[in-house]
Structure 1
């Protein structure tokens, strides 16, 4: 089973959309506040330099807004998580 972490902010509608889709798919995930120094450091150490939330970590892979969304619509998570 894949380990998922959502890096988000408190005022991010896309973050809530991603979390709702993960819950609907029956996937459990951790949620970290992307605005904290610890979360930003974790992202930077892993080569993720975006300030736009959300970021989805699936095991060792990271997916940014550009990967997760087409405009305001969430892409199909099953295809993202299989890549």
Structure 2
């Protein structure tokens, strides 16, 4: 099992996560796959569909995440 150390916050943004997923997909020789996300994973799924649509057979998004205004509300 490969282990990675996060050295900077930028390594944890959605685009970097998608690049990691793409590296995994390529490493196991899958030409295209389906991706599903729920809640915050929905943001990842939508971004995946925008950035790497050629790698997806389908994208399933459920229970989209709340808006930034909702998420930052103090209550």
- TM-score using structure 2 length: 0.30
Which structure carries more helix by proportion? 2
Structure with the bigger RCO (C-alpha within 8 Å, sep 6+) is 1
Larger of the two Rg values belongs to structure: 2
TM-score by length of 1: 0.28
